[in-house]
Every structure is written in structure tokens, then in C-alpha cells.
């Protein structure tokens, strides 16, 4: 199957030019051939039956937005009839009895589910390694990480095991693996995907939820197609297929390499990341007003973010802590040791910090930052260290993503250049006004 375009494939499936059985068989074969990448932790034995059912529906004219298109879900999302590990050896790996809301949404749009993909334990990390299954490797260089926490999804899309993949992003978990694997990764604003807020916009401690669902794709059109299906409405794909990307010009784009983690850790932007950043500035200058952004980040962000980020670990039922990985075990202990008052104070403070982020960013239409500070590290680079060093190295590798999650706005990572070793390097575009259509159009202008 020569096309990399999920949109073209979707259209061929909808018209009957291709059958879902033909397409699903192709991707299942790819999954089997590329098993050594560790992208998949479970392959559905029912995928071909689901494809056959999709073909029957196509004959009857009963099709959704992604009719017959194979895809997979992170092993943090429950899929009825499939085991869910959450990336942890400490959890019972029982078969899910019901679909996660996002899974149900995309199943209703006709997706053929081929399986579950690798994640870090509880989705905590910017790499996808755990004690349950082999690590997810980067298809462009299997010695390297594919990122996290949607690392298995990114590896699967980049390697052609699925045409497009839904991910989730709680601190960069769509954008980081997308950047690591040379894909477009979109983190929508909080609430843009309805299944993210079925139980409200705030977490148990009163802070805006950090985690949202977003697409990983080869280009902006595929990302827009998947985002529309995740939302259940046609908006972003028609916008991108129209004249909007070509007409879009004159934006005020502020650029910055400042990270809110610099008050706690030394952040060094390596040459490949800087080259991509400078290249993106030049490309954007052809249509827009590109200028330095005068930003000042709160010095207590690193500590405050870490507390809120790990608050949820205290509620995870674990009978045997020895089965947890070191990072999850250490951060869970700290979370359970904190008083409820301290956790609530951290949530309140993070809301103040987030409001200040948005206030500063809003002096511009878009903020441009690097996506990551370096090329993807080798497998084991983080896990060979103690928990504190592991976390510090993650902050240094991905210092620009979590600030978007705490602010509830939208951001996208777009590949721009290749390093001397051949690894793609990306930039991040942030919309302080939560305009995903604007970000997708800019990604298209940048060649994706």
C-alpha cells in the first residue's frame, strides 16, 4: 500500500475503492513484520472480523467519518474485550468490559481497532519503557526512544503500522513522540474533544485537567481528519481543505527559547533543535510578523507542576509497590505523603501560574518554541538513573511542553529539519486563544 495519506485511504474506503479487509490485512502484516519495534503490546484477534463487518456496512451505506480505517489505542485507554495494563506490572491486567469514551467515539466513526500500543507506566514519562513489555523504539533509529507517553502510537504511525493514531497529552505526550518520530502532533485545548471532559473540566484537587486527546499524523490534513472524528463534527478538515491556509498571513508570531523549568534545571538547546527553530522562524517570516516574545516565567513552576502532575498517583490502587518502576514508586510515595492541604495549595497556585502564562502569550497570535531541546535519547537513558535524575533529564529533554497543558490552550509540533544523524527536528506552535484551526493551517504552511 503505497499511500501514507490516511485521508486518501479514508476516502478510498468510503467510496468502496478499497475494502477494509484488504487495508486491515496490510496493516496487521506490518505490525507482525515490525514487532521488534515494540510499538504494540496487544494485537486484536478480532480485527479482521471487524473489517469484514465494516465492508458489509459500506455496501449498505452505513459509514462513519473513519469508516473501515485501521487504528490502535494507547494502553492507557480501555478497549472492551482487550487487556489494559496502564504500562504497570503492579496492576491487574484484566479484560476491559467497556470502551473508554474516546474509544467509543472513534469506534462509532467506523475505526477498525487493531490493538493496544506501548506506554510508560501510568503515562508518566516522555519515553515509553516499562516493566510489562519491551520498550517502544524509534522507527527512524531503533536504538532511540520513540518518546512518550504516546510512544507506541508514534512508532506505529511513523513505521506504517497504522495510518493515523489517537493519543493523549498530559504534559507533552502527543507532541513529544510526534516530534521524536517526525510526525505532526496536536494537543487541542481542554474541552475541544468532548470525551476529555465527560466528568468535568477540573481534577479532584480543583486544577484544570492537564490531559487531553489529540492526533498523531503524517501531516496536518490527516491530523484534522482525526480531530474531527474525535470531536464528532466536521470543522477542521473542511477548513484545511479550503483556502484558509493559503489566505492566512500577517500573524504576530512571538518566538522564545525560554523554559519555565530553567529556575530548577540547566536547559541547553542543542544545535539540531536550534537549527530547526531558526529555520522555522525564516519560513514563517515569509508570511507573518515574527518577533521576540518577552516572557518571564514563575520561579516556583517546576515544584508546583511536579506536585500537581503527581497528585493523581495517590489514588492508584497498588497492592505491591515492589512491582512499580522506580519513577512511579518514588513519585507515588511522595504524593501519598503530602497532605491534602499542600496538594490543594499546589493546584491553586498552578492555576495562577497558568493564567500568567496565557496573559503573556496573548500579546501574540502564536508563540513559537522548540519542540524538544535535543534529538531523542537512547533507550535506557532515563531509566538507568534514580527517580530524581530521571525526572530532571526528562525536563531537560522536553522543557517546553508541560506549560501548555497547565494553561489549557492548544499547541502543535511540526517537523522542520533533520539532524546530521538523520533524526527529524520539530518546533512547537502555541495558540493562546486555543485556535486549533490556526495551528493546523500553520503546520500546512510549514510544509506538513
For residue 1, pLDDT over 90 is answered with no
Calpha distance 248→223 (Å, rounded)? 19
Calpha distance 237→194 (Å, rounded)? 18
Tell me which long-range contacts 231-237 makes (C-beta under 8 A, separation of at least 24). 231/192, 231/193, 231/194, 232/105, 232/108, 232/109, 232/194, 234/65, 235/437, 236/436, 236/437, 236/440, 237/7
**Average pLDDT rounded to a whole number, residues 411-438:** 98
- Three-point CA angle 109, 115, 118, nearest 5°: 120
Q: Is there a domain that residue 1 lies in?
A: no
Q: How confident is the model at residue 90 (pLDDT cuts 50, 70, 90)?
A: very high
Residues with Cβ within 8 Å of 39's Cβ and at least 6 positions away in sequence, in order, are 31, 117, 118, 136, 137, 146, 152, 153, 155, 156, 159, 161
With a pLDDT cut of 90, the percent of the chain lying above it is 96
CATH code for position 200: 3.90.1300.10
Other beta carbons within 10 angstroms of residue 303's beta carbon come to: 12
pLDDT in tens, 270-305: 999 999 999 999 999 999 999 999 999 999 999 999
Calpha distance 64→53 (Å, rounded)? 13
Tell the burial category of 247 from Cβ atoms under 10 Å away from its Cβ (0-12, 13-18, 19+). exposed
Question: What grid cell was written down for 51?
Answer: 473489517
* Domain count for the chain: 1
pLDDT in tens, 375-387: 999 999 999 999 9
pLDDT at res. 315: 86
pLDDT in tens, 296-306: 999 999 999 99
pLDDT at res. 319: 83
- Give the active site residues: 74, 149, 173
3-class SS at 191?
coil
pLDDT at res. 317: 87
Q: Is there a domain that residue 191 lies in?
A: yes
Q: Is there a domain that residue 91 lies in?
A: yes
Q: What is the mean pLDDT of the chain?
A: 97
Q: How confident is the model at residue 169 (pLDDT cuts 50, 70, 90)?
A: very high
pLDDT in tens, 207-227: 999 999 999 999 999 999 999
For residue 2, pLDDT over 70 is answered with no
Q: Nearest CA to 400 among 274, 310, 230, 253?
A: 274
Q: Decide: 392 and 330 in contact? Cβ < 8 Å.
A: no
Other beta carbons within 10 angstroms of residue 281's beta carbon come to: 16
Length, in residues, of the chain? 448
Q: Is there a domain that residue 429 lies in?
A: yes
pLDDT at res. 109: 98
Residue 388: which domain range? Answer: 6-445
pLDDT at res. 362: 99
Question: What stretches of 362-435 show up as alpha helix (H) in DSSP?
Answer: 387-397, 402-407
For residue 26, pLDDT over 90 is answered with yes
Cis peptide preceding 265, ω within 30 of 0: no
Q: Is there a domain that residue 360 lies in?
A: yes
Residues with Cβ within 8 Å of 12's Cβ and at least 6 positions away in sequence, in order, are 18
Q: Is there a domain that residue 441 lies in?
A: yes
Q: Is there a domain that residue 166 lies in?
A: yes
Beta strands, E only, 62-211: 70-74, 112-117, 137-138, 141-145, 165-169, 184-187
Amino acid at each position: 500500500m503505497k499511500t501514507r495519506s490516511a485521508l486518501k485511504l479514508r476516502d478510498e474506503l468510503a467510496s468502496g475503492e478499497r475494502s477494509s479487509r484488504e487495508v486491515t490485512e496490510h496493516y496487521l502484516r506490518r505490525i507482525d513484520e515490525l514487532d521488534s519495534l515494540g510499538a504494540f503490546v496487544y494485537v486484536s484477534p478480532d480485527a479482521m472480523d471487524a473489517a469484514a463487518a465494516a465492508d458489509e456496512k459500506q455496501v449498505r451505506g452505513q459509514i462513519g467519518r473513519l469508516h473501515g480505517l485501521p487504528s490502535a489505542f494507547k494502553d492507557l485507554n480501555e478497549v472492551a474485550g482487550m487487556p489494559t495494563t496502564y504500562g504497570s506490572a503492579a496492576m491487574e491486567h484484566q479484560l476491559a468490559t467497556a470502551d473508554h469514551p474516546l474509544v467509543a467515539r472513534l469506534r462509532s466513526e467506523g475505526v477498525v481497532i487493531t490493538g493496544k500500543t506501548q506506554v510508560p507506566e501510568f503515562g508518566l514519562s516522555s519515553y515509553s519503557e516499562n516493566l510489562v513489555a519491551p520498550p517502544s523504539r524509534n522507527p527512524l533509529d531503533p536504538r532511540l526512544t520513540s518518546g512518550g507517553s504516546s510512544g507506541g502510537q508514534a512508532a506505529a504511525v511513523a513505521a506504517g503500522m497504522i495510518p493515523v493514531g489517537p493519543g493523549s497529552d498530559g504534559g507533552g505526550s502527543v507532541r513529544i513522540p510526534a516530534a521524536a518520530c517526525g510526525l505532526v502532533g496536536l494537543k487541542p485545548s481542554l474541552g475541544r474533544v468532548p470525551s476529555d471532559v465527560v466528568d468535568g473540566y477540573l481534577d479532584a484537587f480543583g486544577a484544570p485537567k492537564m490531559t487531553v486527546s489529540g492526533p498523531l499524523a503524517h501531516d496536518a490534513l490527516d491530523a484534522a481528519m482525526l480531530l474531527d472524528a474525535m470531536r464528532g463534527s466536521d470543522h477542521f478538515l473542511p477548513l484545511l481543505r479550503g483556502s484558509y491556509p493559503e489566505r492566512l498571513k500577517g500573524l504576530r508570531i512571538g518566538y522564545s527559547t525560554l523554559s519555565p523549568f530553567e529556575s530548577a534545571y540547566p536547559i541547553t538547546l542543542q544545535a539540531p533543535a536550534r537549527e530547526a527553530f531558526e529555520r522555522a522562524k525564516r519560513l514563517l517570516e515569509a508570511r507573518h510578523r515574527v518577533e521576540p516574545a518577552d516572557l518571564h516565567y514563575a520561579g516556583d513552576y517546576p515544584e508546583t507542576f511536579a506536585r500537581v502532575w503527581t497528585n493523581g498517583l495517590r489514588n492508584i490502587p497498588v497492592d505491591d509497590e515492589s512491582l512499580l518502576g522506580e519513577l512511579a514508586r518514588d513519585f507515588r510515595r511522595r504524593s501519598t505523603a503530602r497532605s491534602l492541604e499542600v496538594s490543594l495549595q499546589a493546584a491553586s497556585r498552578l492555576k495562577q501560574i497558568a493564567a500568567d502564562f496565557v496573559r503573556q502569550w496573548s500579546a501574540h497570535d502564536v508563540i513559537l518554541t522548540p519542540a524538544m531541546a535535543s534529538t531523542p535519547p537512547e533507550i535506557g537513558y532515563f531509566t538507568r538513573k534514580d527517580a530524581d535524575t530521571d525526572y530532571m533529564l526528562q525536563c531537560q529533554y522536553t522543557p517546553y511542553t508541560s506549560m501548555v497543558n497547565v494553561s489549557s490552550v492548544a499547541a502543535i509540533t511540526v517537523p522542520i529539519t533533520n539532524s546530521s544523524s538523520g533524526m527529524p527536528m520539530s518546533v512547537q506552535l502555541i495558540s493562546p486563544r486555543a485556535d486549533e484551526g490556526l495551528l493546523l493551517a500553520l503546520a500546512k504552511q510549514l510544509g506538513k
